[in-house]
Structure 1
Amino acid sequence: MTEDRNFRSHYYEKVGFRGVEEKKSLQILLKDDPLDDQKLAVFCQRFPVPVMYRQLVWKVLLGILPVHQSVHQFVWNQRTQQCNDLQRSLKVMNIINDETSEAEVIFKMFLLQEGLLPLEDENLHDIEDSIISLDVATATCDMTEDFDDAYWLAFRIYQLREKHADLLETMPSSFISYLTKEDPVLYEHLEALKCVKRLPYQKWFQSLFSSVFPVSTVERIWDRFIGGSCKFLVFVAIAIFLTYKMQLINTKKQQDLLKFLEKLPCDHCDVILMKASELWEKYGCTKAELL
């Protein structure tokens, strides 16, 4: 049976229908009531989620919607009402208006809901990671057509990021460890330019790459993150450096190298994700994070 599946998978990829079987598997999972969130999480870690199902899968895994599909509409009505109440409160307090960007509205709604909203608007940027949080909100706005969807996805992703705060803090050291193993020559070059401590990977990790890649690529990274693989972010960073190794090696000034990394070209996103997946599997994270 396994050999038959492998043959069919290979055939589908050859004729341009890569992921056909995975899509069918997800469709089967989504027929269950209640949904099996553990199986959905495993799917997210192993395969890109088809666009037409992504929001539903994310909402279930993020706890926006319950696993019982029979009550989805009722719960979503409550979520929508809560969203409306938050917006109305901010307008009454003159904290937002019709000119406020959607991303900023989402961030302020999150702060209000969490009891963290400063009384003075000028103090908003004193909040740690405010710019990064706005990047996340901007990404969810770009991913969705409905504001309520954008808000609840951003809100839960903020919470998930906080849940993994300790792990996110250790990622720079994990990055250095893995890069040293994968390409010691590249690492030595970064050390020679005294770049290692100034690399933008901390911003990359905290923003979940929302400020780095096009939204279509960010969605595929978030599939893994929302599915439970926080460590996948480290391998995305490693893959960036391996993909652009020649440009980095040929850059002889620290300032030029950092400038290149601050605004990466968007022409190798698929290659980067493929390399990140290979590294994730190579270092055993497949088994460790799916347990």
Structure 2
Amino acid sequence: MEFAYLGPRGTFTEAALRRLPAAKGATTTPMSSVAEVLDAVRRGEVDAGFVPLENSQEGTVTVTVDELVGGEPLVIAGEAVLPVTMVLASEKTADGITTVASHPHALAQVRGYLRRELPNATAVNALSTAEAAQRVLVGEFDACICAPFTAEAAGLPVQAFNIGDNPNAETRFVHVVRPCPPPEPSGNDITSLAVYIDHDQVGALLAVLTEFAVRGINLTRIESRPTGEALGRYAFFLDCTGHLADARMGEALMGLRRICADVRYLGSYRRDRSDDPVPAPKGLSDTDFTAAADWLRHLRDGGRP
């Protein structure tokens, strides 16, 4: 397989890609933006893409969500979660640093450090932490915020270690492919969806949430994103526990299809977590759904109540 990922080489994305089981032995190709990666997947130039989706401190990588919600359909086939450790890399010491470059999410995760230690330095956005390191090397900026392995690869000295405001920060990355059947259920899965509701209907979002609640499906993420049609027009990006093959998930999706303006299925895939999966509530396991369907079929066939 060939994977495209958000480059250049030496980024957090490349480090997370090494953790992805599906990428073992694959050819990897760095690209300059999330949109470029996903377009390469859509055109069939690569087999899969790998891009950041969200950070535990800064939230959504909006370009990724917007591409998945609004672009030509793609599905998520897997994820990898990477702990994020930040360093300040530079040939200069703190008193000689006037500009600090990095990806916007990385800069946001060290706001406190920059205010305390480099209050007079100007923060500059770069396409990635690795690109920022390269621009420091050629003298365009004085310093960069990046991972320790990025600084090492670039040959930049580290002036300060572990400078993130949140020591437990982590970023979630997703493996994206063209529409295809999902991986087999693992028992610890996520299903991702984009839901479009009728904004003129009172209680439309409540109706969506009810489809999950009555079937014991937990929503782990819900976020609204503008559709671009007009002010007040939003799609909702959802992550929920369970797999497309689960009976309760299937019923929930059929319910959404009946009541929503549109539903985009974005994939079912194994969670990159060691958390024990939460069992289905009583009456909502696949066995319970099968037994109920058999009972109804029996009644429709004229059997004894």
Question: TM bucket by the smaller chain?
Answer: under 0.3
**Greater share of strand:** 2
**TM-score in terms of structure 1 length:** 0.23
- For the pair shown, the structure with the greater C-alpha radius of gyration is 2
**Greater share of helix:** 1
